[in-house]
Amino acid sequence: MTRPQTVQDVYEAIRRDRLVEPGRLCAFADRNQLTDPKAALERLVVDGLLTAYQAAEVAVGRGGGLWLGGYRILDRLGRGGMGHVFLAEHSVLGRRVAVKVLSESLQADPGARKRFVREARAAATLDHPNIVHVFDVDMTNDPPYLVMEFVDGISLQAAVSRGGMFSAGETATVGMQTADGLAQSAAVGLVHRDIKPANLLVDRRGQVKILDLGIVRFTHDTHSWVNGTEIILGTLDYLAPEQAIDSSAVDPRADLYALGATLYFLLAGHPPYPMTDLRRKLTAKQTEDPHPLHLLRPDLPLELSTIIHRLMARDRAARYQSAVAAVSALRPWANPGPDFPARLFRLSSDSTAQDRRMTDHANDHDPMPDTTPIIKPAARQMPSEPSEAEPAPPAPVRRTPKPEIAPLVPSSPLAIGGMNDSTFDHTPLPQGGRPLVVAGNKQPQSDRWLLRLFGWVAACIAVAVGVAVLIALAGR
């Protein structure tokens, strides 16, 4: 790995690594008589011949690593314990894709390699607009990689973290589309086993995409093995009670439970069981129902609250018995309003600055599903931490959103392709984990207006009584 010392070294590295067509590179060199390598790379980015990521790799002598098979890497979208996710472009077709690369430390891990193949195999059986497509997998390449559909979207986890809770209509719309995708996967014998807000994207057209089929279960499989040891797979906040007991014996109704828990999160701003202790959380999932949604959100139609709680029934026989039935139940409430999904992509100035800082730090996301055994201590803090008595979750804070709306930020680190936007997976919500109400949600009148109304009514009654007394006295 040799760092370029001169401008000519920069041009030679770019030519050797096939990052820019020779004719365009020569024309650039003729137009710009530069002597500083750093200035040359900056100018190449400004002129659109290199991306900022490519220029940074060339500057440290790693331009040769910007190819995976026939795909030229443009940017790094995420990074985590299992590897990286890159934005790439096919050298001939020009199609942009998301490429998941297995990290060097896990290339010899049979469990990690199996998940790569399993994800590709599962995606190959599916063709649905609400499921991210996987186009190719190459396990013989060094490093192995998986090529997926590139989605310009935002995860539900990030959307709530940035913008607050969803309205009833938005929630039902997201739920209906997700259930439609789950119906297709169930029809071909698949159970996702890791439906959660970080694994669901909404693109700029409002279409939901289900991510990460790495721990999917084929219903004809008898076991699910990772590293030769059978463990509980999935994310505890959203997995079904029976999945926490035996993840190898679940059926599609486990995905419906996870969908219900995800919709609960969209409306409440926190998971159904927000306690931080994993053992207490697991016990609660087996023995207690979540705090009723209609008490947390008085503006929520009782019928929609009932649908979501039925999805989360602890007894799977009491849930909807198919995703098709869940689609039918949610459809009448799926009215997201004219500002959806545009509002999800309008960030405040603070969020924009945070996203840019995160971009500067290489977008430290985890592109792979969380398969940590639930018996281990929590690695990250949950959005809220109840007291020892575990009281009901606090009522949402009602605030009026700021009228100023920042422009779209194309460079913000949105959840792309097969990547979990898990930077936001357990990020505390604004105001210490208490959700804010976003624009467009209908909220009940505050107590102050009720008190004023009662005051006016009392005053009117007092005046009427006084007039009656005066009339009676005058009559005497």
Q: Which residue has the higher pLDDT, 137 or 334?
A: 334
Helix (H) or strand (E) run with residue 88 in it: strand 83-90
Cα dist from 42 to 23, 37, 88, 89, whole Å: 19, 9, 21, 21
The radius of gyration of the chain from alpha carbons, rounded to an integer in Å, stands at: 27
The model's confidence at residue 362, banded by pLDDT at 50, 70 and 90, is very low
Is the sign of the CA dihedral 259, 265, 268, 274 positive or negative?
Answer: positive
pLDDT above 70 (res 358)? no
Tell me what pLDDT residue 216 has: 57
Domains of the chain: 1-65 (no CATH), 156-388+401-433 (1.10.510.10)
Mean pLDDT over each residue of the chain, to the nearest integer: 76
Q: Catalytic residue numbers?
A: 194
Q: Which residue has the higher pLDDT, 421 or 182?
A: 182
Tell me what pLDDT residue 407 has: 32
pLDDT in tens, 213-256: 656 555 544 444 333 334 445 578 999 999 888 777 789 999 99
% of the chain surpassing 90 pLDDT: 45
Tell me what pLDDT residue 28 has: 94
What average pLDDT does range 379-395 have in this prediction? 39
The model's confidence at residue 51, banded by pLDDT at 50, 70 and 90, is very high
Tell me what pLDDT residue 368 has: 34
Tell me what pLDDT residue 347 has: 62
Most confident of the ranges 137-141, 258-262, 423-427: 258-262
Q: Which residue has the higher pLDDT, 228 or 268?
A: 268
Give the number of other Cβ atoms within 10 Å of residue 283's Cβ: 13
Q: What whole-number distance in Å separates Cα of residue 37 and Cα of residue 10?
A: 6
What average pLDDT does range 39-46 have in this prediction? 94
What average pLDDT does range 319-333 have in this prediction? 97
Helix (H) or strand (E) run with residue 98 in it: strand 96-102
Q: Which residue has the higher pLDDT, 450 or 446?
A: 450
